[in-house]
Amino acid sequence: MKDKLRFFDKVTFLVLVAIALLGILLIYSASADLESKYYLKQLVRLAFSILCLFLVLMIDTRKIMEVAFPIYVVLVIILALQAVLGTVMSGTRSWIKVGFLFIQVSEFIKIFTALCLARYLAKIKIIGWKSLLVILLYVGIPFALIAQQPDLGTAFMLCSLVLTAVFLKGIRPMVVVLSLLALVAVSYVGVKHVLKPYQKARLVSFLNPHKYEQSSGYQVIQSKIAIGSGGVSGRGFLKGSQTRYRFLPTRHTDFIVSVLGEEFGFLGVTVLLFLFFVFFFRQLDVNIPVRDEFYFTYLFTGIILFQFLINILMTIGLFPVLGIPLPFVSYGGSSLLAFFIGEGMIFRIRINRFLP
Amino acid sequence: MYIDKNFIPKIRRECLHRRSIVLLILLFLVFLFAFWNIQILHHQEYREQALRNINKRVYLQAPRGLIRDRNGRLIATNKLDFTLVIRRERARNLSRTIQLLAPIVDLSEKEIRRRIRKYRHYPASYAIPIRKNLDLREVIIIKSREEEYPGIEVTHKPMREYPLGNTLSQIIGYISELSPEEYQKRETYQLGDMIGKTGVEKEYEEYFRGKRGYQDVIIDHLNQIKDVVYEEPPLLGDTVELTIDLDLQLQLEKIFDGYSGVIGVSDLSTGGILALVSKPDFDPAFFTSIKSEAEWKALIDDPSDPLTNRFIQGVYSPGSTFKIVMTLLGLEEKLIDQTSGVWCAGQTSIYNRMFHCWRDYGHGWVGVRRAVAESCNIFFYHLGRKTDIETIGRYARLLGLGKATGIDLPNEKTGLVPSPEWKQAALDRPWYRGETISVAIGQGPLLVTPAQMLQMISTVALRGKSPRLHLLKTIQSEDGVVLTPAPDFREIPIKKEHFELLIEGLFSCVQEGTARRAKVEGLDICGKTGTVQVITKENPEYEELVKKDPFKPHSWFVSFAPKKDPRIAVVVFVENGGDASQVAVPLAAEVYRRYFNYER
């Protein structure tokens, strides 16, 4: 216990907590006019998540690796059951009720998909046809189940695992070419027949936001107005008119960076970017010799990085509005807890080499 | 260090790490640039858009100026009106919204759709009024659901109120939403503003209007006002005080209840109208609420024509009242004098045609005075033979016929004074001498309005001083009097003594002539009757038909009192009222009784 805390990366941990606290500050501003105390709820969740992080830190990584696949299977079964039995809440079936809590299983399956993939990648040399198929199965099953909830944003984030896997292992050129062709074909069919009308509307409005000013394009336009009107130093805490008068949509979740941009300006955004940069920089550790541990660290960091990337591109209008929250910052318990549990494992992995 | 298949060689790890960090740095540089671009390079335009989002100017309609009678009693005022409006651009599901609203505001869905459709050429942001005059209960129900059904709103603004209902409606006129054509012509108006359409409301629109105020407000994404930054309050329009005496007016309305036609009373010291009843009338509040198509149709197709102000827009044959013009013509042109007379045998032959007096057995020997008093046709036939249609036209116009009186009401009709040129142009036929004989007793193609007749009898009462009839006493703003028109009299080039002689005739008309029922004790009333047949006596069924409503003759009586130093002149006109002596004359007597009684 003492050893673990001695070698534990305090800087990364503090940066993480700082990011989460900044998030709570922004949630406070984003919901200042609402009755429910969102920021308090998020603060409680943060405390609980930190506790979980330390609990996970105590567990032997090998043991987790061994139970990763069974847990993955269980979560897939839960997702499948949800697909059949789940009740619709705020337009999706992503939530299951545990006691008085609502939990999004889809957030947690990211961790275990990453773990399973990490173990699999440790066994292969380079990605060929067979291994690509295995990877796609690992990712594709939860992807399909989550996408039909429908929660395209979360499902989409799982895809980042495939890219990171390719980045880590390399891939045969023929496989790349042929699978890209297949991807084009699949997405054509997907857009034509599978996407729900509102999802299509988002795609279309992304391509031409001003034409859809009153509907789907509205969100992006208002988000850019919020960010742009912040200027260098922002309009001041609680003083952003886009946030305060609710022109900004889903401002405590997907568009929380717009709140930051409006109230704290370019300086505030730079601080957040810098914190994330430090976090990623330290977490992409070179000194993880064990194969699956190294791969898990990079795969899971890859998910965070992608989600961070897509969320920010979304708020500045460079990516379609998919409903992807900003990791550690946006309001939401399941996402926060899942990321902190994953972080717990990574913190442990990074001190394993110092342990007997 | 580790040479095991469970471990990754350090060199491989370092390679992956290096690539990751390069990607990371690139990503952060791109992000920094992207935010730099939005927040610093394009800050100004986004800032302006943000301000445009929240800043809005809300216009505050000015309360319309009041209308008062000559003693300051209220005729038209303002109340706070709650109106349900729909903005199409904000309504997400219009059909659902309409479904919800229909039972609350007690209108059919079809009717609500029709009201919305009427504004289809207006901008989508326009607040389409669905129902005005919401009561408090309805306001509360709608307000509680505004969030649920975006696009519906309850607005409130001052609205014209007419506390007296139909009373004076023909004079006040009405206001309603200005039409798109009117909007194009008037720069200071906004779509949806109310504007005077007829009557005094139209005549003095520029004074009533006041000055629109505004509020600069902060709104949220649902268009709800969050804060008022600046307010310029609206200015109440000017108060228009009329020459109308409301007490007299209300009494006359009661007397005239059930009749169709006009009673007009002028104040001879100024030419101001003291009372003016024109029936049938309407409820001016009809036009400030929103009506269904059926209600509109009912009003427009109403055969009694309640929207026409018969005082200035009804044109009728003057009948025997025209003998006033003929008498003055005869005296001034020296065709007759005090001593001249005619033997009336009930009929006479002129230009080989028989002309009849209204009294079959004749009047016997008649001079000027009796001819006027008894309204003897034969006397005036002979006068007509001595003159020509041009001269008659000249005198008629001199006394104000054939042209607008210039009263301060819009859309006044001019009537018709015939001339050979007119007949040639209108009917493509020459003027016949025989027609001049008919015109001499007020028949033929002569058309006058009751307003012209009131002006004519006022001129006679004042012995040649013709007053300009008017309704405006003063216009007052909060700072004081804006406008008080000076009495306007015009001298008619006819000798005073000729008027005196005519007035003798008019006096005996009431004393012993056709207007005997106008006698009021202690008051010297002078007047002239006129009974205008609407079907000819040659009609074989005349005796039967004339007793039925639409064929009864129109009934005129023009008069003034007292004979010396006259104070008021009165015109009574009853559409299809019957014989003037039986209908118009007693009504006029009632007017004098009320006026001179309550004054004491």
Q: pLDDT tens digit string along B205-242?
A: 999 999 999 999 999 887 778 899 999 999 999 999 99
Indicate the range of A263-267, B15-19, B110-114 predicted with least confidence: B110-114
Q: CA distances (Å), B311 to each of B11, B275, B410, B571, in order? A: 109, 11, 12, 10
Among candidates B116, B110, B142, which has minimal Cα distance to B129?
Answer: B116
Same domain as B566, residue B472: yes
Same domain as B271, residue B183: no
Q: Do A309 and B19 touch (CB under 8 A)?
A: no
Question: Around Cβ B454, how many Cβ atoms within 10 Å?
Answer: 31
Residue A215 has what pLDDT? 53
Q: Is the pLDDT of residue B599 over 50?
A: no
Angle, in degrees to the nearest 10, between helices A333-352 and A38-58: 30
Q: Do B53 and A291 touch (CB under 8 A)?
A: no
Residue among B28, B47, B220 minimizing CB distance to A229: B47
CB neighbour list of residue B102: distance below 8 Å, 6 or more residues apart? B108, B109, B112
Chain B partners of A261 at a C-beta cutoff of 8 Å? 35, 38-39
B157: confidence class by pLDDT, cuts 50, 70, 90: confident
Identify residue B522 by its one-letter amino acid code: G
Q: What is the mean pLDDT of chain B?
A: 91
Same domain as B28, residue B105: no
Number of domains in chain B: 3
Cβ contacts from A onto B, under 8 A = 118
Same domain as B273, residue B222: no
Q: Do B8 and A291 touch (CB under 8 A)?
A: yes
Query: Distance between CA B509 and CA B529 in Å, rounded?
Result: 8
Name the residue ranges covered by the structural domains of chain A: 2-352
Q: Do A226 and B50 touch (CB under 8 A)?
A: yes
Q: Is the pLDDT of residue A6 over 90?
A: no
Shortest Cα distance, chain A CAs vs residue B151, angstroms: 13
Is residue B220, in this structure, part of any structural domain at all?
A: yes
Same domain as B342, residue B197: no
Q: What is the mean pLDDT of chain A?
A: 89
Alpha helices in B443-561 (DSSP H): 450-461, 496-511, 542-545
Percent residues over pLDDT 90 in chain B = 67
Identify residue B408 by its one-letter amino acid code: D
Is residue B468, in this structure, part of any structural domain at all?
A: yes
Q: Is the pLDDT of residue B37 over 50?
A: yes
Query: Distance between CA A223 and CA A144 in Å, rounded?
Result: 30
Chain B partners of A245 at a C-beta cutoff of 8 Å? 53-54, 218-221, 226
Q: Which of A61, A239, A241 to substitute to test the interface with B, most B CBs within 10 Å?
A: A241
Is residue B325, in this structure, part of any structural domain at all?
A: yes
Numbered residues of chain B with Cβ closer than 8 Å to any chain A Cβ: 1-2, 6-8, 10, 13-14, 16-17, 19-21, 24, 27-28, 31-32, 34-36, 38-40, 42-43, 45-47, 49-51, 53-54, 89, 218-222, 226
Among candidates B565, B535, B557, B559, which has minimal Cα distance to B547?
Answer: B535
A327-349: average pLDDT: 95
Residue A90 has what pLDDT? 60
Q: Do A227 and B46 touch (CB under 8 A)?
A: yes
ipTM: 0.92
Identify residue B21 by its one-letter amino acid code: I
Give the count of alpha carbons within 13 A of A114, CB side only.
32
User: What does B533-595 look like in DSSP terms, one character per residue?
Assistant: -SS-TTSTTHHHHTTSGGGSPEEEEEEEE-SSS--EEEEEEETT---TTTTHHHHHHHHHHHH
Largest Cα span, chain A: 62
Query: Distance between CA A297 and CA A344 in Å, rounded?
Result: 11
Identify residue B248 by its one-letter amino acid code: L
Q: Is the pLDDT of residue A100 over 70?
A: no
Kind and range of the H or E run holding A186: helix A173-189
Percent residues over pLDDT 70 in chain A = 92
User: What does B103-138 look like in DSSP terms, one character per residue?
Assistant: HHHT--HHHHHHHHHTTTTS-TTSEEEEESS--HHH
Same domain as B456, residue B324: yes
B111-130: average pLDDT: 85
Same domain as B334, residue B197: no
Q: Is the pLDDT of residue A121 over 50?
A: yes
Q: Is the pLDDT of residue B490 over 70?
A: yes
CA A225 distance to own-chain centroid = 25
Please, what is the Cα angle at B2 between B1 and B8, to 5 degrees?
Answer: 120
The answer to whether A102 and A95 are in contact (CB under 8 A) is yes
Is residue B292, in this structure, part of any structural domain at all?
A: no
Q: Do A247 and B53 touch (CB under 8 A)?
A: yes
The residues that bridge with A97 in the sheet, in sequence order, are A102
Q: pLDDT tens digit string along A241-261?
A: 998 888 888 888 899 999 999
Chain A partners of B35 at a C-beta cutoff of 8 Å? 227, 261, 266, 269-270, 273, 316
The answer to whether A117 and A142 are in contact (CB under 8 A) is no
Is residue B299, in this structure, part of any structural domain at all?
A: no
Same domain as B267, residue B196: no
Same domain as B28, residue B175: no
Q: Do B46 and A312 touch (CB under 8 A)?
A: no
Q: Which domain holds residue B330?
A: 248-279+309-599
Burial class (CB in 10 A: 0-12, 13-18, 19+), A114: buried
Which residue of chain A has the CA closest to B14?
A286
CATH code for position B455:
3.40.710.10
Predicted model pTM: 0.75
Indicate the range of A12-21, B108-117, B363-372 predicted with least confidence: B108-117
Shortest Cα distance, chain B CAs vs residue A161, angstroms: 15
State both tokens at A1.
């216990």
The answer to whether B130 and B112 are in contact (CB under 8 A) is yes
Same domain as B195, residue B331: no
Q: Which of B18, B20, B32, B222 to substitute to test the interface with A, most A CBs within 10 Å?
A: B20
Q: pLDDT tens digit string along A261-288?
A: 999 999 999 999 999 999 999 999 889 9
Same domain as B272, residue B183: no
CATH code for position B225:
3.90.1310.10
A224-231: average pLDDT: 95
